[in-house]
Structure 1
Amino acid sequence: LIEISTVERGVISLYGVRSELFVAMNSRGRLYGT
């Protein structure tokens, strides 16, 4: 299961419920995570 939410304008966060890890994408399409 993945939860999708907006962090701020132009930044989207994807949260893996089972793994408890985050991946975010900024407005330029760059991914970063924990």
Structure 2
Amino acid sequence: MKYDRFNTNKMYTLLYILSKIRTFDYYNIHLC
């Protein structure tokens, strides 16, 4: 149970970071 929760948190963190990078790229492209 603990490991599952840890893995889920890790996955969400990864998705969060990826979405941040995506948003950054999006703004970068549209501001250039």
Q: TM-score band, normalised by the shorter chain?
A: under 0.3
The structure, 1 or 2, with the larger RCO (C-alpha pairs under 8 Å, 6+ apart) is: 1
Q: Answer with 1 or 2: which has the greater Rg.
A: 2
Which has the larger helix fraction? 2
Report the TM-score when normalising by structure 1: 0.14
